[in-house]
A = this chain, B = another copy of it.
Amino acid sequence: MHLGECPALLMSFGAEGPAKIPLSMLIVFVSAKLMAEIFERLNQPGIVGEILAGVLIGPSVLGWLAPNELLTALSDLGAMFLLFRVGLEVKSSELLKVGGTATIVACCGVVVPFVMGWGILILWGAPSNEAIFVGASMVATSVGITAQVLAAKGLLHAVSSKIILAAAVIDDVLGLLVLAVVSSLTHGTLNFLQLGLTAFLAVAFTLIVAKWGTHTMKRVTPHVEQKLRVGEAQFAMAMSLLFALSLLAVYTGVAAIVGAFLAGLALAESTGQRVGDLAHGVTELLVPFFLAGIGLHVDLTAFSSGSTALLAVIILVAAVISKFIGCGLGALSLGRTEALRIGVGMIPRGEVGMVVAQIGLGFGIIQHNIYGVVVFMSVATTIVAPPLIKLAYKKLLESGQAETPEEVFRLG
């Protein structure tokens, strides 16, 4: 995804050649951490600062960097390690226990945003296919943002957190199906056999790993430590599983980060603290690239026309409200507080919405300015959500029941 060329200024600093890697790392990492620091001092979530750092250094504002292969790779790896690290903190049995509620949450959270997005575009006068694609791009939650907020605040042990994680995984499978249906529909054909196969593969992969992964790794891990002679054998095994399941996830159609999350889940009850600690180092390094990478995609030039800007605001409000209502209603059986938390926790769309819009753009179904609207909605929901999540969990945070981040990601 190249939104623009690197400006001449940066080229002269060595954007190609041996300076490229340290320069990119320095700009992204330092700007993300600086903005996080500023936001923490303003009593705002640091994560929002890191995303906005991406907007700031990106093509829209300073133009220091544009998304390129290196930054995209680091961003993707950052998301994978983030979800892996979160998976390590969660027991799969507890996720499976809340599976029923999570499925309802996920389904409601797919239907309501789709209908709202589609409806708004139709009222706006957009062609039917474009409306369908925009609806589809509003469907899938990006679990990375919420997971990072919950992990950083020590809230992963709450029931609502587990429902959010499980619902986000199911959501990803549903999003895959919606995209498949939508892509077929707009091409006029709907192959039910292939659709059924896609659904089966994705569901089977996720369920099998969630259900038997932990058990399998409990039997495998002790042997790894005893039998292997390479240093840090458990970490080597964990990384191999992480990459293998991420790859399998992609092959079965779900996102790589779902595979990474499942790898963490599978290892949660068998590997020692040391694996978590080493993975935490990688996560700390790469998460700023994931967060700033989201912001880097914003292209404010798409809003040169006032009507597009208005549409962007409407779509953003609809994206927030629709997920909040859909997921909140789905979780209402747990009481209003929990429903509220789950509702806000599912708001961020992040990279998932962008991918759908990009496919629509590639098909020539989505106009360039509407693509900009979807990207804006995707990024803005990740910025709006963290303060809302903090607010929704305020009582729990103030009660002292939250673990400190040091307790969650402590060194052994």
Contacts and interface: CB of A to CB of B under 8 A. Distances in A.
Contacts of A284: 231-232, 235-236, 278
B281 A243 contact: no
Number of copies: 2
Q: Pick the most buried of A33, A80, A405: most chain B CB atoms within 10 A of its CB.
A: A33
Interface in A142-172: 152
Interface string A50-94: 000000000000000000011001001100100000000000000
Contacts of A259: 22
A28 to B, nearest CB: 9
Q: Pick the most buried of A152, A235, A284, A412: most chain B CB atoms within 10 A of its CB.
A: A284
How many chain A residues sit at the interface, stated as a range, is 35 or more
Nearest to A35: B230
Contact of A278 (B14, B235, B240, B280): B280
A256 B73 contact: no
Contact of A277 (B228, B235, B281): B281
Contacts of A232: 284
Contacts of A203: none
Interface in A301-322: none
A22 B259 CA distance: 10
A207 interface: no
B250 A19 contact: yes
Interface in A233-260: 235-236, 239-240, 243-244, 246-247, 250-251, 255-256, 259
7 contacts: A22-B244, A26-B240, A30-B240, A235-B284, A274-B411, A278-B285, A280-B281
